[in-house]
Amino acid sequence: MQKRKFGSLPTGEDVELCTLHGGAGASLSFMSYGGIVTSLCVPDREGRIADVVLGFDNLDSYVAGHPFFGAVAGRVAGRIPGGRFTLEGKTCQLVQNDGPNHLHGGLRGLDKRIWSAKPNLRADGADSVRLTYHSPDGEEGYPGNAFFCLDYTLTQDNVFIIESEVTTDRLTPICLTHHSYFNLAGEGSGEVFDHELTVHADRALLVDELLTPLGRAVSVAGTAADFSSPRRLGDAIPGLFARHGDCYLLPGGKSLHLAARLADPVSGRTLSVSTNEHCLQLYTAAYLECPHPGKSGHPYLPFAGCCLECQGYSAGAEFPEFGSILVEPGRPQRRVTRYAFSTTNPGIEP
């Protein structure tokens, strides 16, 4: 692991940039600010390295505001209807920072906090860092002290592993996600319309016109949201609800399950996503607004990336039948997501 100062916040706090190394020239860089992944460089079928996540090359652009590029979103990722939930008979009201809803942890969620970063020794020798953060009782309106531990690992076969463990001293909802925008052709290369997506799920969770979760699931078989076989995103997006992408139900539990596969036929880069989370949120970046130039030197436009967010159900405090997101004292919440990068040859399925 390599570590260097990336800059300082207006409050004077220093921000560190950590870099991990995989095989064949692959690398992963992320900040102590928000656990934000700033770059993820992997080879194509010819061995050429490209950065496949959107973001900036300077801290100021992140601090000025961005659409959660590469960040840890939480305490609860996604939208909480009305910004409220009920615990033990008491209603908790959070800030409503997305219309009537609470989104991605509030005005200053985990994506805007400084995490402690230390080397994490693994038996397999892979480059790994442990990020920790203590969220005090009442932060952004959430009850209970929550202690977050995230392990970021990049293996020698180019798998980015995110392992989380959360403990609390009081019943509270926790639903984290990683929010990178992937473009397997390379960030700044344009829209991801030619990418092919497969999602291994047959049900999705309904939302209203404000993307508010409704607590109901429907089959996607035969609909525009059906990605059970590979589909070109440019063909699928016009038929998706609000061109946004759905939240798919996954098995969850202790075991990892293959959730999705994204492939760029031109470069041959593929991304396979496995997780033990209960949901996969697809976001096509339909509403992407980024006034600051990205790493390529130009602002990112809509559909410049694709998010594959493994998470719990944001309304899970009210609808535990889709996977509870409540954490109790003495019972840690543990989750794992694996983003595995590989390459294919033209016309050959992996």
Which of the residues 66, 179, 195, 278 is marked catalytic? 179
Distance CA 233, CA 144 (A): 41
Instruction: List beta partners, residue 203.
Output: 219
* CB of 338 closer than 8 Å to CB of 275: yes
Angle at 339 between CA 152 and CA 185, to 5 degrees: 115
* CB of 217 closer than 8 Å to CB of 205: yes
Which of the residues 16, 187, 191, 309 is marked catalytic? 309
Distance CA 38, CA 262 (A): 20
In the DSSP assignment, the letter for residue 229 is: S
Distance CA 14, CA 37 (A): 17
Is 309 annotated as catalytic? yes
Which tokens hold the place of 36?
A: 């934000």
Is 134 annotated as catalytic? no
User: Which burial class, exposed, middle or buried, applies to 60 when counting CB atoms under 10 A from its CB (0-12, 13-18, 19+)?
Assistant: exposed
Could you tell me the end-to-end alpha-carbon distance of the chain, in angstroms, rounded to an integer?
A: 31
Residues with active-site annotation: 179, 309
